[in-house]
A and B are shown apart, each in its own frame.
Chain A
Amino acid sequence: MKLTDLNVDEIAFIASMDGDSDFTARLMEMGFAKDLQIRMVKKFPFKGPIQVRIRNFLLSLRYDDAAKIQLKIK
């Protein structure tokens, strides 16, 4: 499933990141990694930005970027 499909307050695990290399590299530099837990915190209406928690911080992504992150439920 895509990160944008995750409901608010649900937790899943990161499976893979598509998108161009700058985008995935920056996500990984900020601590994104395979099998890491991620929780959906907030979704802004009309396909606005989404807010997630990974590790111990809140991160915001544009909807289209978030759709490039694939999740799995362990």
Chain B
Amino acid sequence: MTFTNQWIALTGNPNSGKTALFNLLTGLNHKVSNYPGITVERKLGRGKFANHKIDILDLPGTYSLIPESKDESIVASEVKQWILEEDKPSLIISVVDASNLNRNLYLTSQLQDSDIPVIIVLNMMDIVRSKNIELDLDMIQNELSPQTIIPLSARTGEGISELKKAILVALEKPQTAQKFPISLPEPVSKAINPLRSYLQKRHDLSERQAIGIALREVTNQSKDVSFLDSEGEDLRKNACEQLGAIGFPCHTLEPTIRFLWLDKVIQQAEIEVQVKSRSEKVDTFLTHPWLGPLIFVNLLYFIFQSIFTWASYPMDWIDGGITWIGGFVTTVFPAGLLRDLMVEGIIGGVGAVVIFLPQILILMFFLTLLEDTGYMARVAIMSDKLMTKLGLHGRSVLPLMSGFACAIPGIMATRTIDSWKERLITMLVLPLISCSARLPVYALMIGAFVPAVSVWKIFNLQGLTMVLMYFLGTATALILSLVFSRWIKVDQKKTFIMELPPYRVPVFRSVLSQVYVRGKLFVSGAGKIIMVVSIILWFLASFPKWESNGETGQSITESYAAKIGHSIEPIIAPLGFDWKIGIGLITSFAAREVLVSTMATIYNVEEEGDELINLSDALKNDINPKTGLPVYSPLVALSLMIFYVYAAQCMATFAIVRRETNSWKWPLFMIGYMTFLAYGASLIVYQGGLLLGFG
């Protein structure tokens, strides 16, 4: 039997270990549409079961099919599609935290009403067993009637092979229970009956599907995802009136009914409340009122320190590798346009950016680790009070920290913030956080123009300058969020309910696979843009060629690129920028790090020899032929770095903000305020510096 066109959906509560299981089942076979967030993006993976390859869709973690935030409504609308349309998964794998059965099975029971076979995966069985808790699996099987129940531990790997076998069995012999499993109280059943039979006819549903949806429609007040038209809406109102009269307020009907049933099936609720868990003991230190923030700041310091120290070794290797490839191509290919294009355009341009991959991977590694251990949830709690004062949200911390890697996953991660106003403000200030694409620019300018001297014998001036750039962006982001929160008037929700997962040792394979997937996205996604821009630039910088006395030659100062650069020079000259930087500013609209590859391409084309130049030296040694003075000074470098702290340059960011806010208003606003900040700050720094005699 083959399983073509069949696919599986993976669902579960947040913190159920769903992502780790997804990574174990699919290995590195991920297809992430667009950029990944922290499990908020539609992730498709391919699992191998015996000899069959089957696609698995990883859905965002949610507690219920009644959505409270953007990523939860993804699940709700996905399930709605499965019920109404042809394209549905052949099987749902519902991942359940075995130590929190009742709460996790709530979502499972909602999903089972879709009439799609469900395998219940009892995850974290190693923890349950270590606590000597007995689970009555037969009882759950009898009451919920899933396809099968598989006890498993994503951490130890037990149960994985049983799950793989069960998946194949389920695809061959799917089983669902036809009957709605809960016997509703008579008056409740009577109250929702008209709505149920209407839904059944209107959408051609089974009885079970219709009861499940009727319960949810009556309960769902926010109406983000609804099955009802105006006629159905009237029936819903009638049902609500009747339910209110018999003491079942409709906005809590579904959880009331399902938990009455689940708590009868599994009597686990009362046992654990008295026991002080190990995580609580750890929290005495990690979320201590003043020790907690201190630990967090030190952790951040450690992470940034390691980004700069550890990454320097692989960066040297990559640098050596690129130089070697450039040299190899130079010796193998005959001199000519093609070789110039490859060496100066492609290898020089792309190489100048790929070198920063180690730093990005290290940052990603630490962020994933903090998330998977359960620490990030604590950070959200600890910072919530402060963040609310600034107009943000406790859940803004993770997106803002992701922003140090890249604004795009950061903006996607804001989907977990369930209040629209705070989510919007987080998105608006996020691009001010210095992302890894700025790093190449800072690193180049600091390396070339800031002397490596020590300050007060403990700090290195280069490192200090770098920290200053990061601080400047972050501080501005926080100040502006305060300004925006006073100024933006949108409805907002003030509540913030968050589960604190127990501290867990992360599943190492899962962490590595997440880092790998993101690294691959950087290389293939950003790499493509940089490659294209580098090639175009090389043409612009290399042409037109001139011919005199039978010889052809080229001069960068006569090139198309120079013409474009010169044309914007009057605008940027007050900031201390010349035409070469001007071209860099234009190409930076594709991505910020392209500035570095642009400069590299320009200087490579300008350089007479075949060797790849060292960009830092080239910048330092660039002499203005008219004045005989260096073109770039430390003041220009500072002005340029500050420009990059603030400037709106990465088009992909604005495209994502457009998609997430569903309007052009906000991305245009972002471009406006960031450009204003960048130009203003650079102008003050450069002109102020000149007045003070630096220059």
Q: Which B residues are in CB contact (< 8 Å) with A24?
A: 251-252
Known: A49-B381, A60-B381. A37 touches B499 (CB 8 A): no
Which positions in B face A, CB cutoff 8 Å? Answer: 63-64, 66, 68, 99-100, 102-103, 106, 219, 221-222, 251-252, 254-256, 259, 263, 268-274, 277, 279-280, 283, 287, 289, 377, 381-382, 384-385, 394, 493-500, 502
Interchain CB contact (< 8 A) of A31 among B103, B289, B502: B103
Q: Is the CB of A46 within 8 A of B385?
A: yes
On chain B, the residues within 8 Å of A49 by CB distance are 381, 384-385, 394, 496
B269 / chain A contacts, CB cutoff of 8 Å: 31, 36-37, 55
Given A28-B256, A55-B269, answer yes or no on A33-B263 (Cβ-Cβ < 8 Å).
yes
Residues of B within 8 A of A26 (CB): 63-64, 68, 495, 497
A23 to B496, CA, bound (A): 9
Partner of B63, one of A11, A19, A29, A61: A29
Given contacts A21-B251, A22-B68, contact A57 B283 (CB under 8 A): no
CB pair A57–B100 under 8 Å, yes or no, is yes
- Contact residue among B271, B496, B500 (Cβ-Cβ distance under 8 Å from A62): B496
CB distance from A1 to the nearest CB of B (A): 17
B495 interface neighbour in A31, A55, A62, Cβ under 8 Å: A62
A60 close to B500 (CB less than 8 A): yes
Complex interface: chain A residues within 8 A of B251 (CB):
21, 24-25
What's the minimum C-beta distance from B498 to chain A, rounded to whole angstroms?
5
Q: In the complex, A42 Cα to B282 Cα: how many Å?
A: 12
A residues 1-60 with Cβ under 8 Å of B?
Answer: 11, 19, 21-31, 33, 36-39, 41-42, 44-49, 51, 53-60
- Chain A: minimal CB distance from B127 (Å): 11
Given known pairs A11-B273, A11-B274, A58-B279, the reply for A65 and B496 (CB within 8 Å) is yes
The answer to whether A30 touches B63, judged by C-beta atoms less than 8 angstroms apart, is yes
- The 6 A-B residue pairs whose C-beta atoms are closest, nearest first, are A28-B255, A21-B251, A58-B500, A56-B272, A31-B103, A29-B64
Q: Which residue of A lies closest to B388 (CB)?
A: A62
| Beyond A31-B106, A37-B274, 10 additional pairs, beta carbon < 8 A | A11-B273, A21-B251, A22-B222, A23-B495, A25-B252, A26-B68, A29-B254, A55-B272, A60-B497, A65-B494
B255 and A25 contacting across the interface, CB-CB below 8 Å: yes
User: In whole Å, how far is A21's beta carbon from the nearest beta carbon of chain B?
Assistant: 4
State whether B498 touches A37 (Cβ < 8 A).
Answer: no
| Distance, CA A30 to CA B262, complexed state (A) | 13
B-side contacts of A30, CB under 8 Å: 63, 103, 497, 499
Expressed in whole angstroms, the Cα–Cα distance for A41 and B263 within the complex equals 24
Shortest CB-to-CB span from A49 to chain B, Å, is: 5
Across the interface, do B273 and A54 meet the contact criterion of CB distance under 8 Å?
yes
Contacts A11-B273, A55-B273, A58-B499: A64 and B494 contacting too (C-beta < 8 A)? yes
Across-interface contacts of A48 in B (CB, < 8 A): 384-385
Shortest CB–CB separation between residue A69 and chain B, in angstroms?
Answer: 11
Chain A residues within 8 Å of B287, by CB: 42, 44, 51
- State A71–B289 Cα separation when bound (angstroms): 26
**Chain A residues whose CB sits within 8 angstroms of the CB of B500 once the complex forms:** 51, 57-60
B255 to chain A, nearest CB (A): 4
Sample (8) of A-B pairs whose CB atoms are under 8 Å apart: A26-B64, A48-B384, A49-B385, A49-B394, A51-B283, A51-B500, A58-B500, A61-B497
A residues neighboring B (CB under 8 Å):
11, 19, 21-31, 33, 36-39, 41-42, 44-49, 51, 53-62, 64-65
Q: What residue of chain A has the Cβ atom nearest to residue B13's Cβ? A: A30
A33, A54, A58: most-surrounded residue (chain B CB, <10 A):
A58
Distance in angstroms from B74 CB to nearest chain A CB is 17
Shortest C-beta distance, B492 to chain A (Å), equals: 12
Q: Which of B102, B222, B274, B499 contacts A39 (CB 8 A)?
A: B274
Tell which of A56, A62, A65 touches B100, judged by Cβ atoms closer than 8 Å.
Answer: A56
> In whole angstroms, what is the CA distance A28 to B612 when docked?
65
Q: Which residues of B contact A58 (CB under 8 A)?
A: 277, 279-280, 499-500, 502
A59–B495 CA distance with the chains assembled, in angstroms: 13
B68 touches A57 (CB 8 A): no
A11 to B287, CA, bound (A): 21
CA distance A62 to B418 in the complex (A): 14
Q: Which of A31, A53, A61 has the most CB of B within 10 A?
A: A31
**With a CB–CB cut-off of 8 A, which chain A residues contact B497?**
23, 26-27, 30, 59-61, 65
B273 touches A38 (CB 8 A): yes
Pairwise interchain contact A44-B289, C-beta atoms closer than 8 A: yes
Task: Flag if B255 contacts A59 (CB, 8 Å).
Answer: no
Task: Tell me which residues across on chain B come within 8 A of A33, comparing CB atoms.
Answer: 255-256, 259, 263
- Of residues A11, A23, A25, which shows the largest number of chain B Cβ atoms within 10 Å of its Cβ? A25
Q: Is the CB of A41 within 8 A of B280?
A: yes
Q: Known interface pairs A28-B259, A49-B384. Does A19 touch B66 (Cβ–Cβ under 8 Å)? A: no
Nearest CB of B to A39, in Å: 5
Min C-beta distance of B222 to chain A, whole Å: 6
Which of A24, A30, A39, A45 has the most CB atoms of chain B within a 10 A radius of its CB? A30
Asked whether B221 lies within 8 Å of A21 as measured between CB atoms, the reply is yes
B384 touches A62 (CB 8 A): yes
Q: Within the assembled complex, what's the spacing in Å between the Cα atoms of A48 and B273?
A: 23
Alpha-carbon gap, A26 to B498, bound state (A): 11
**Cα–Cα, bound, A33→B279 (Å):** 24
Chain B residue nearest in CB terms to A45: B289
Q: How far is the CB of B59 from chain A (nearest CB, A)?
A: 17
Distance between Cα atoms of A11 and B252 in the complex (Å) = 25
| B-chain residues with CB within 8 Å of residue A59 when the two chains form the complex | 497-500
- Across the interface, which residues of B come within 8 angstroms of A23, CB to CB? 495, 497
Determine the chain A residues whose CB is within 8 A of the CB of B219 once the complex forms: 25
In the complex, chain B residues whose CB is within 8 Å of the CB of A62? 384, 494-496
CB distance from A41 to the nearest CB of B (A): 6
Q: Find out whether the CB atom of B273 lies under 8 angstroms from the CB atom of A39.
A: yes
B273 touches A31 (CB 8 A): no
